Amino acid sequence: MRPILIALGIVAALAVGWVAFKDGIYASWLGQGEREAVEPDYALEDDWLERPAEAPPGGWASPWGIDVVILAPFPTTPQPAGLLTASSDVIKNDFDGFMDEAGLSSELSSVVYAPSYRAPSPALGKRMRDEASALAAADVAAAVSRYASADNRKRGVLIVAAPGTEALLEGALSALPADEDFRQRFGGVMLPADMDVAEWMEVAGPCSDGVDACVVSTGLDASKPFRRFLLPSLPRPRLVYSDDGTLANTIDERADTLSVWLEENLPKPAEPFDTWAAEEVVDVAPIRRPNSERDISGERGN
């Protein structure tokens, strides 16, 4: 009897030790990743998770176009503790999975811009994760600033935030233009179920008169998958995303409402010269010196 009790005691001690240290052992097994990552360049396609291949028609076209900026959730695929570059395949794959689970891959018809960013590995501890999250927020702010100045083209815009992206949303909202022209084209923010609408009203700032509220909640949610108690996990575990089956339609309906209001209430912006000049063929009359038949219109300095 005594040997059995000793054996049971050893097994129980091993089990307690495993439960206490399994997560640390797993993180150590994954190893250390890079602590620095190249700053993303949002003029490059690789540093966006999604962006239209060709520039969509600007606000001068009809119907008035609307863009949807999606803030991607932090990656949860196990990786060594460190920073992931914005062009990382891990971030892109996690984003694709999020879009599938949220029902946005095939059902959303709006034009989508989704910036990538330098992301913390799920194996990072809280202090380093907070530092990396601040870096990611700065990247998203730079991406939204680039979008507003180079890609928006007087179109309307909505922001859709994924669960757990509070830091990224603050960065995105801080980079939006404050002028009345843009704010009347800004359709506000659509939050996941785990964010409080009231807390974001002031942060979001003014938005278009074409929408009922500048900040609204959606059925987008995240949950941890069922895990066996004895299996190891990371500080940021894998998440499963879900919605009530109406998210894509809700986004498209809000975009359509804003588009109709813009068409009916705002004057159309002038189309910039550089959008059509390359397509126009301009005939120039030949220039000749007096008493000469030679055309000098193309000569340097004339």
The predicted structure's pLDDT at residue 182: 97
Whether 247 shows a pLDDT value over 90: the answer reads: yes
Whether 231 shows a pLDDT value over 70: the answer reads: no
Structure tokens at 205: 């700032």
- pLDDT tens readout for residues 257-284: 999 999 999 999 988 866 544 445 445 5
Give the span between the Cα atoms of 124 and 3, in whole angstroms: 43
The predicted structure's pLDDT at residue 99: 94
- pLDDT tens readout for residues 38-89: 999 999 999 999 999 999 999 999 999 999 999 999 988 877 767 889 999 9
Query: Which of 226 and 36 is assigned the larger pLDDT?
Result: 36
- pLDDT tens readout for residues 177-229: 999 999 999 999 999 998 999 999 999 999 999 999 999 999 999 887 665 44
Q: Are 58 and 41 in contact (CB under 8 A)?
A: no
Whether 291 shows a pLDDT value over 70: the answer reads: no
Q: What is the mean pLDDT of residues 19-32?
A: 44
The predicted structure's pLDDT at residue 217: 96
Give the span between the Cα atoms of 207 and 187, in whole angstroms: 6
Structure tokens at 255: 């975009």
Q: Are 132 and 83 in contact (CB under 8 A)?
A: yes
The predicted structure's pLDDT at residue 297: 47
Structure tokens at 223: 């949950």
Relative to beta strand 66-71, strand 83-84 is unpaired
Work out the pLDDT band at 293, boundaries 50, 70, 90. Answer: low
Output the pTM of the full model.
0.79
Q: Are 211 and 186 in contact (CB under 8 A)?
A: no
Q: Are 218 and 188 in contact (CB under 8 A)?
A: no
Number of residues that make up the chain: 302
Q: What is the mean pLDDT of residues 114-123?
A: 88
Q: What is the mean pLDDT of the chain?
A: 81
- Percent of the chain residues topping a pLDDT of 90: 56
The predicted structure's pLDDT at residue 226: 60
Q: In terms of C-beta density within 10 A (0-12 exposed, 13-18 middle, 19 or more buried), how is residue 174 classed?
A: middle
Q: Which residues contact 103 (CB under 8 A, 6 or more apart)?
A: 243, 245, 247, 248
- Percent of the chain residues topping a pLDDT of 70: 72
Indicate the range of 3-12, 14-23, 277-286 predicted with least confidence.
14-23
Whether 302 shows a pLDDT value over 70: the answer reads: no
Whether 4 shows a pLDDT value over 70: the answer reads: no
**Helix, strand, or coil (residue 159):** strand
Cis omega (within 30 of 0) for bond into 232: no
| 3-state class percentages of the chain: helix first, strand second, coil last, to nearest 5 | 40, 15, 45
Q: What is the mean pLDDT of residues 137-166?
A: 96
Whether 3 shows a pLDDT value over 70: the answer reads: no
